[in-house]
Structure 1
Amino acid sequence: MGQSPAVAADPGAVVSCALAPRHESVRTAREFTRLTLNRWELGELFDDIALVASELVTNALRYGLPTVVPEQRSSWGRRGTAGPGISSAGTSPIHDRMDASPIAESTAPLIRLSLVRSEPGGTGPQVVCAVTDPCEEGPVPREADWIAESGRGLHLVESFSQSWGWHPIAVGKVVWAVFELQSHV
């Protein structure tokens, strides 16, 4: 596990997006990231942060979800329809607090993407990209196989972020990556 970033965010500098457990959520995560960074006037950081958000959400979908019986999958929404926390337009509600959720407790999202903009003392502004999922096992980078179609995600996260790590939470874990904004402000 990496060392957790100390985050002291201003109100409105923490936004969160509930993601349905389906592959289309990777696209939703990128769009949420684009909209948030544009709102913060940090659109120039989109490429790096969106790549990392995509990788972390993909890992959460691939490794972080419990085995689900088919009856449960139908309650998540079918391809092209809205699922928990996702509007029919394919976007997720943006919350000004990480713990805010319009979703009922019984249908709580399994995956959540959060972006935090902070100004830690002495180090300059940062953006933290964090993805939560219900699996308690932490991510483990694999030996890079540059011919394989998968297996390089955490290497990309490490390459494009200042630092990254993970921590257990009450239910599951959070995987985070920090982006320093010193050269972009």
Structure 2
Amino acid sequence: MGLSPAVAADRESIVSCALAPRHESVRTAREFTRLTLNRWELGDLFDDVALVASELVTNALRYGLPSVVPEQRGCWPRRGTASPIGDRMDAAADTDLPAPLIRLSLVRNEPQVVCAVSDPSERGPVPREADWIAESGRGLHLVESFSQSWGWHPIAVGKVVWAVFELRAT
């Protein structure tokens, strides 16, 4: 677990987006990142920040939602389609229980931008030995490669995983 970046910024510099527990949320996270960085006139950071945001949201979907059994993590069908995890999503919706949320936050704190993803799991991310033949398992290696630094810490409910990006000199 790394040290959390200090955040002291005004309201215009902190934005967040709640994401539903569906694989489409990765696309939503990328679009939110694009819009935010463009509004901050930091579009040159998009490729790196969006890649990291995508990886962190994907990890939150796979490992951060405790109601999903391990062999079916990340399988969130649209409502009304057959679900490999049974009717738990629809049952939760019918009982007015809140769906587990993933939240993407972007913080502009000159001279850095912080990308943070929170989820309800208390288990921290664990980088795996990279298997270069496997289709998955390299996400945290990408996060480490494309960000200045990254880490995680527990929060009141769950954890937040963050990555820091240095603003490029123009």
Q: TM-score range, shorter-chain basis?
A: 0.7 to 0.9
Q: Tell me, yes or no, if the aligned pair for 1:19 and 1:109 is still in contact at 8 Å.
A: no
Distance 2:40 2:15 in 1: 11
Q: What amino acid is the match of 2:149? A: S
Which residue pairs with 1:115 in the alignment? 106
Q: 2:155 aligns with which of 157, 169, 177?
A: 169
Report how far residue 169 of structure 1 moved. Answer: 0.5
* Partner secondary structure for residue 12 of structure 1: helix
> Residue type of the partner of 1:66?
P
Unaligned runs of 5+ in 1: 78-104, 120-124
* Contact in 1 for aligned 2:144/2:150 (Cα 8 Å): yes
CA distance in 2: counterparts of 1:106 and 1:12, whole angstroms: 32
- By how many angstroms is 1:61 displaced? 0.1
Output the CA distance in 1 between the equivalents of 2:28 and 2:46: 14
Q: Given the alignment, which residue of 73, 76, 84 partners 2:89?
A: 73
Aligned pair count? 152
TM-score (norm 1): 0.77
Alignment deviations for residues 89-108 of structure 1 (CA, whole Å, 9 cap, x no partner):
xxxxxxxxxxxxxxxx9536
Q: Which amino acid is the alignment partner of residue 14 of structure 2? A: V
The range that moved more, 106-115 or 136-145, is 106-115
The residue identity in structure 1 corresponding to 2:34 is: R
- Distance in 1 (CA, whole Å) between partners of 2:8 and 2:99 is 26
Equivalent residue letter for 2:28: T
1:74-121 CA-to-partner distances (Å, cap 9, x unmatched) read 3789xxxxxxxxxxxxxxxxxxxxxxxxxxx953651000000012xx
Partner of 2:43: 43
Task: Give the structure-2-normalised TM-score.
Answer: 0.83
Query: 1:42-67: CA deviations, max 9, x gaps?
Result: 01100000000000000000000012
Letter in 2 for 1:137: R
| In structure 2, distance between residues paired with 1:30 and 1:139 | 21
CA-CA distance at 1:149 after TM superposition: 0.3
Gaps (5+ residues) in structure 2?
A: 69-84
Letter in structure 2 aligned against 1:118:
N
- Aligned-residue Cα RMSD (Å) equals 1.9
- The one-letter code of the counterpart of 2:54 is S
Which residue number corresponds to residue 74 of structure 2?
none
Partner of 1:92: none
Return the alpha-carbon distance in structure 2 between the equivalents of residues 29 and 109 of structure 1.
Answer: 16
Q: Which residue of 2 aligns with 1:61?
A: 61
Secondary structure of residue in 2 paired with 1:107: coil
Q: Percent identity?
A: 82
Structure 2 residue identity aligned to 1:148? A
